[in-house]
């Protein structure tokens, strides 16, 4: 139990560190769990602890969200922003329900696929950041509805672990002329309904597979993810504004490449 609690703590910290950067937190969690011999009931641990990171995001953006929702009754710009997030959320919501069983029983159980997607996604992130046009949208709240829908369609690619939800939405936004900071912030706002919905549906779909010990692990991972994500969110926007996303692309390639080597060498646990 002590060893399991420690692993849950480490995975929670890993979740908080990686949820909002374009490296695929789910891919990192699944690969780390594979090599550490951590087998969560129904693979729900890896999904539910992401809610800890989302709670951290709500804390950081509470004042801004409150301003948007209180202004919505009389401010068309606030209503457009809320609508853009809803429109961007819908494609992944529909596809996530339709493909839930395949995602959990096939994609989540294929480490080679996850590691490969980390490498491929890293190359794409580096390549497309250099190709991105000059930004014409400098604020997450100003993203037009049609561009928001396109970003939402990009988010659907992250149904495959290793792709990265934030990575797919950020690359999509960059290619649509959104600035680096605004792309990251829109990805943040979009993650709130997306992850909340994913967690709620996953708990419902796997409710019969969970037990008291699983909830203990989830609680530890949730708390660790919350604290760590608070620090990362406050740091990330300033970093990408100054340095861009290339570092995260190289990180993906390094982690995915190492995982591929270990996987191809044979069954490995730490």
Mean per-residue pLDDT for 241-258? 93
pLDDT for 269 equals 45
Q: Is the pTM of this model over 0.85?
A: yes
Q: What percent of the chain has pLDDT over 90?
A: 59
pLDDT for 103 equals 85
Are the beta carbons of 45 and 214 closer than 8 angstroms? yes
Query: What is the CB neighbour count within 10 angstroms for residue 92?
Result: 25
Asked, for residue 194, whether it belongs to a domain, the answer is: yes
Q: What does the buried/exposed string (b/e) look like for 205-221 if buried means 16 or more CB atoms within 10 Å of the residue's CB?
A: ebeeebeeebeebbbbb
Confidence of residue 193 (pLDDT cuts 50, 70, 90): very high
* In the predicted structure, residue 76 carries a pLDDT above the cut 80: yes
* In the predicted structure, residue 210 carries a pLDDT above the cut 80: no
Asked, for residue 270, whether it belongs to a domain, the answer is: no
* In the predicted structure, residue 256 carries a pLDDT above the cut 90: yes
* In the predicted structure, residue 253 carries a pLDDT above the cut 70: yes
Asked, for residue 27, whether it belongs to a domain, the answer is: yes
For 13-31, write each residue's pLDDT tens digit.
Answer: 999 999 889 999 888 988 8
DSSP character for 178?
A: B
| Residue numbers of the domain that contains 47 | 2-265
pLDDT for 270 equals 43
Asked, for residue 61, whether it belongs to a domain, the answer is: yes
Distances (CA, A) of 118 to 187, 226, 259: 19, 24, 9
* In the predicted structure, residue 92 carries a pLDDT above the cut 80: yes
* In the predicted structure, residue 213 carries a pLDDT above the cut 70: no
Query: What is the CB neighbour count within 10 angstroms for residue 83?
Result: 13
Confidence of residue 201 (pLDDT cuts 50, 70, 90): confident
For 115-152, write each residue's pLDDT tens digit.
Answer: 999 999 999 999 998 898 999 999 999 999 999 999 99
List the structure tokens of 147: 């561009």
Mean per-residue pLDDT for 167-196? 93
Confidence of residue 212 (pLDDT cuts 50, 70, 90): low
Work out the mean pLDDT of the chain and round it to a whole number: 88
Number of domains in the chain: 1
pLDDT for 241 equals 85
Least confident of 26-40, 49-63, 83-97: 26-40
Q: What does the buried/exposed string (b/e) look like for 39-77 if buried means 16 or more CB atoms within 10 Å of the residue's CB?
A: ebbbbbbbbbbbbbbbbbbeebbeeeeeebeeebeeeee
Asked, for residue 48, whether it belongs to a domain, the answer is: yes
pLDDT for 42 equals 54
pLDDT for 211 equals 61
Mean per-residue pLDDT for 80-103? 92
């Amino acid at each position: 139990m002590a060893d399991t609690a420690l692993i849950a703590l480490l995975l929670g910290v890993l979740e908080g560190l990686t949820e909002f950067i374009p490296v695929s937190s789910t891919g990192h969690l699944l690969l780390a769990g594979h090599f550490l011999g951590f087998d969560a009931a129904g693979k729900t641990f890896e999904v539910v602890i992401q809610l800890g990171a989302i709670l951290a995001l709500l804390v950081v953006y509470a004042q801004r969200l409150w301003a948007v929702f209180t202004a919505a009754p009389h401010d068309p710009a606030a209503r457009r922003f809320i609508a853009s997030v809803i429109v961007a959320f819908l494609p992944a919501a529909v596809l996530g329900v339709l493909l839930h069983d395949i995602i959990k029983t096939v994609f989540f159980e294929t480490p080679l696929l996850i590691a490969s997607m980390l490498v491929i996604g890293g190359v794409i992130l580096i390549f497309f950041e250099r190709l991105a046009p000059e930004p014409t949208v400098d604020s997450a709240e100003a993203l037009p509805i049609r561009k928001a829908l396109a970003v939402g369609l990009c988010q659907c690619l992250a149904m495959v672990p290793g792709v990265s939800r934030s990575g797919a939405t950020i690359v999509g936004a960059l290619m649509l002329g959104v600035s680096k900071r605004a792309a990251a912030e829109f990805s943040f706002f979009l993650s709130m309904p997306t992850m909340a919905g994913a967690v709620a549906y996953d708990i419902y779909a796997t409710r019969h597979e969970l037990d008291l010990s699983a909830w203990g692990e989830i609680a530890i991972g949730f708390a660790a993810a919350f604290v760590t994500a608070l620090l990362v969110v406050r740091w990330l926007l300033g970093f990408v504004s100054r340095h861009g996303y290339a570092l995260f692309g190289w990180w993906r390639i390094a982690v995915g490449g190492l995982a591929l080597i270990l996987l191809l060498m044979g069954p490995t646990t730490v």
